[in-house]
Structure 1
């Protein structure tokens, strides 16, 4: 058994206790539900010297809205996600050494502790529409990396604001549109399509 095989074999034994299934072809672990998927995968260094975990969430309701708004422009993606180094207090501790068997076993122990102490709560909190609305829209524009990059995060922010009946939705639309206009004007068309879809298909919001 190679070091890589040992690492994922040991993780599989541990994570299955929490409902995760190992997808060997993609070196990732997935926990599925009717509302979406929780995903743990890894950035892998050459020769399997080190690894770093990523926590990702696919929220079906969010992705369905994007798909309907954008049609053929829609690219299947995660809804929420971040590398471990951005989620813990000391980023240097995010990297796990996997260069020998002893380090692999220690790394697996660290990853399971990370899931128990942080990952489980992260998945639960950041798959909740109301909590995402609070995280993203109490101070709109302050947090632009809940979904890996600013643009995906902004799309997420206006969707959860609409679904959670944010009382100042029109103001949010304008704030986020201005941010995109300054950073990446070519993305404004996609943003506007999403806003128009939300307003057309979710008319009960008190925003407009």
Structure 2
């Protein structure tokens, strides 16, 4: 019978082997596959939900842009986030489901199904994932994506603190004239985590004042 550990290792080993020519490597201790780039890193991360003998797999692609994260993180004190997590914060991401326009859960219960899913991941990442990384490592494309996700959101999921702050920084880095217009709207959109109502809002205000002086 397959174990959660086995499923995790097989995904990491087989994906990283296929993606090695593109600069990715497997970090077993973190269950992710990473590619260091000049502007930050590209990341393929996955987790397993154990319903033995069935395992539900969730895989996502993410990008860290250091120029964005370094600015955002300087305004997030310990009362908002653990400083140890700052080097690994992510700027954008997408689940494999959305990437492939396929919203069904990915479940495996045996070796054959696991190998089929891994093959699906390999094909999908090569066909669309690598393009996603290339496209959104560009600041201007990242700015457009982030801004549209906030302005078109009907659920409030994009109104979290980091997301709003990332968008403000991207607009500044891209000399986007929408910065001055959207800043007050972002303050209105902000959905705080309990206990961060004041500190989160202050972080947005302080960030904007900093961006004006850049």
Aligned ranges for residues 99-178 of structure 1 at < 5 Å? 99-137=109-147, 141-143=151-153, 150-178=160-188
Q: Report if the CA contact (8 A) 1:98-1:104 is conserved.
A: yes
User: 1:197 deviation in Å?
Assistant: 1.7
Q: Give the alignment's Cα RMSD to 1 decimal.
A: 2.6
**Alpha carbons of 1:137 and 1:10: their partners in 2 closer, same or farther (altered >3 Å)?**
closer
Q: Does 1:60 align with 2:60?
A: no
Q: Report if the CA contact (8 A) 2:69-2:166 is conserved.
A: no
Name the residue aligned to 2:29.
25
User: 1:139 deviation in Å?
Assistant: 8.2
- TM-score normalised to structure 2 length: 0.80
Q: 2:131, 2:123 → 1: CA distance?
A: 12
Q: 1:171, 1:9 → 2: CA distance?
A: 47
- 1:132-162 alpha-carbon deviations (Å, 9 max, x no partner): 22223368622599x9763322111111111
User: 1:83 deviation in Å?
Assistant: 2.3
Aligned residue-pair number: 196
Please, which runs of 5 or more residues in structure 1 have no aligned partner? 203-208
Name the residue aligned to 2:75.
69
Q: Does 1:6 align with 2:5?
A: no
User: 1:31 deviation in Å?
Assistant: 0.4
Structure 1 range deviating more: 116-125 or 25-34? 116-125
Q: Does 1:79 align with 2:91?
A: yes
Name the residue aligned to 1:96.
106
Alignment equivalent of 2:46, drawn from 29, 42, 51: 42
